[in-house]
């Protein structure tokens, strides 16, 4: 299978590396120091599931040199979605499948608009990994899982073949009959995990041990459930409790990518996560005070980090 991974960061580098190690024809689309390091010394992955190195690794910053592929895995940050999708048009052939492994619930619609709805499946990555240094991916979670599914909820041969390829690569993959519901469920979790850890600058264990930040964590999820239900996406009424129980299976030292980005002064996805819940809540008249607090506390940093001179946006 010819595969292009658009965005060779923590998730894209790990998944693409595993697929390449399993013998798939993988090209990583990257840029900057990450691309330079991979060209120089390959892709290195340090993982709780076993370390490996791909030398040489196929990588480029120009999708036109790759041409149409069977599968495109889309793993860029949310603010890069539209530009990266337009850049990726040379990768699209008649039978190309595109799977977003991004956060949030809006990327699939953007990709469908730019690349063609017939190409797009929904996807969820339950993988904790990051770029430790250019060319080195560190994957720390016991779970390394991908859920994928047709946006229509149907089963398809293409989804099954992609699941099988991921399984062969050592990634636990499963098919969903309602990927939209599952995307909203993940959004609820990420808003709490990423948002509360980032706004407190604390790791997961500390957040869940303190009764007040634990309540904030729960309320972020409950609000997201209410917004989803207003948009006719039915999530379990006890999803907050389920997600907390799930979070407690991780080690106390686990950090979300949003906190990692905050600590290194990088741009945040908060506008597309907690901010999206606030925006959609306002549209439906659903109060979202917990998500509003997190979004409000972090949005100025997110905006400032996006500006080359580090200045705050004008109002």
The reply to whether 60 and 125 lie within a common domain is yes
pLDDT for 54 equals 98
* Domain-terminating residue out of 177, 194, 218: 177
The lowest-confidence range among 104-118, 153-167, 255-269 is 255-269
pLDDT over 70 at 258, yes or no: yes
The reply to whether 194 and 242 lie within a common domain is yes
What mean pLDDT is reported for the chain? 94
pLDDT over 50 at 314, yes or no: no
pLDDT for 306 equals 58
* Domain-terminating residue out of 177, 200, 233: 177
The reply to whether 142 and 205 lie within a common domain is no
* Domain-terminating residue out of 128, 158, 177: 177
The reply to whether 192 and 171 lie within a common domain is no
Is 315 a member of any domain? no
The lowest-confidence range among 145-149, 225-229, 246-250 is 246-250
pLDDT over 70 at 113, yes or no: yes
Is 81 a member of any domain? yes
Task: Assign residue 215 the CATH number of its domain.
Answer: 1.10.1040.10
Q: Which one has a higher pLDDT value, 207 or 301?
A: 207
pLDDT over 80 at 307, yes or no: no
The reply to whether 138 and 199 lie within a common domain is no
Task: Assign residue 25 the CATH number of its domain.
Answer: 3.40.50.720
The reply to whether 144 and 218 lie within a common domain is no
Calculate what percentage of the chain has a pLDDT beyond 70: 96
The reply to whether 190 and 300 lie within a common domain is yes
pLDDT for 251 equals 75
Is 313 a member of any domain? no
Contacts of 162 (CB under 8 A, 6+ apart): 71, 97, 99, 121, 148, 173
What mean pLDDT is predicted for residues 178-195? 98
The reply to whether 102 and 134 lie within a common domain is yes
pLDDT over 90 at 179, yes or no: yes
What mean pLDDT is predicted for residues 159-164? 98
pLDDT over 50 at 224, yes or no: yes
Domain holding 154, by residue range, is: 2-177
pLDDT for 214 equals 98
User: Do 146 and 172 meet the contact criterion of CB atoms below 8 Å apart?
Assistant: yes
Count: domains in the chain: 2
The reply to whether 155 and 207 lie within a common domain is no
Is 87 a member of any domain? yes
Is 230 a member of any domain? yes
The reply to whether 59 and 122 lie within a common domain is yes
What mean pLDDT is predicted for residues 192-206? 97
The reply to whether 226 and 138 lie within a common domain is no
pLDDT for 312 equals 35
pLDDT over 80 at 29, yes or no: yes
Is 92 a member of any domain? yes
The reply to whether 299 and 168 lie within a common domain is no
Residue range 227-238, pLDDT digits in tens: 999 999 999 999
pLDDT for 315 equals 28
pLDDT for 305 equals 66
Is 276 a member of any domain? yes
Interstrand relation of 43-47 and 52-54 (parallel, antiparallel or unpaired): antiparallel
């Amino acid at each position: 299978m010819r595969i292009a991974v658009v965005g060779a960061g923590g998730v894209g580098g790990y998944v693409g590396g595993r697929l390449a190690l399993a013998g798939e024809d993988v090209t990583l689309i990257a840029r900057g120091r990450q691309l330079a390091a991979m060209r120089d010394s390959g892709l290195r992955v340090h993982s709780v599931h076993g370390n490996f190195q791909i030398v040489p690794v196929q990588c480029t910053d120009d999708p036109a040199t790759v041409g149409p592929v069977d599968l495109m895995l889309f793993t860029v940050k949310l603010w890069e979605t539209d530009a990266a999708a337009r850049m990726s048009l040379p990768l699209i052939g008649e039978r190309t499948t595109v799977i977003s492994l991004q956060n949030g619930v809006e990327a699939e619609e953007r990709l469908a608009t730019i690349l063609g709805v017939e190409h797009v499946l929904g996807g969820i990555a339950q993988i904790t990994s990051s770029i430790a240094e250019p060319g080195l991916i560190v994957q720390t979670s016991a779970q390394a899982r991908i859920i994928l599914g047709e946006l229509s909820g149907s089963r398809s041969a293409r989804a099954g073949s992609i699941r099988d390829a991921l399984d062969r690569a050592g990634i636990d993959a499963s098919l969903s009959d309602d990927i939209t519901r599952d995307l909203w469920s993940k959004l609820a979790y990420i808003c709490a995990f990423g948002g509360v850890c980032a706004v407190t600058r604390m790791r997961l264990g500390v957040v869940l041990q303190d009764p007040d930040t634990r309540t904030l964590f729960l309320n972020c999820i409950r609000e997201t459930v209410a917004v989803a239900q207003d948009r006719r996406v039915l999530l379990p009424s006890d999803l907050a409790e389920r997600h907390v129980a799930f979070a407690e299976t991780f080690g106390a030292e686990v950090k979300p990518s949003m906190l990692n980005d905050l600590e290194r002064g990088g741009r945040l996805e908060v506008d597309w996560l907690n901010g999206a819940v606030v925006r959609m809540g306002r549209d439906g008249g659903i109060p979202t005070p917990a998500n509003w607090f997190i979004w409000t506390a972090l949005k100025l940093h997110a905006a400032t980090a996006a500006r080359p001179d580090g200045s705050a946006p004008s109002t």
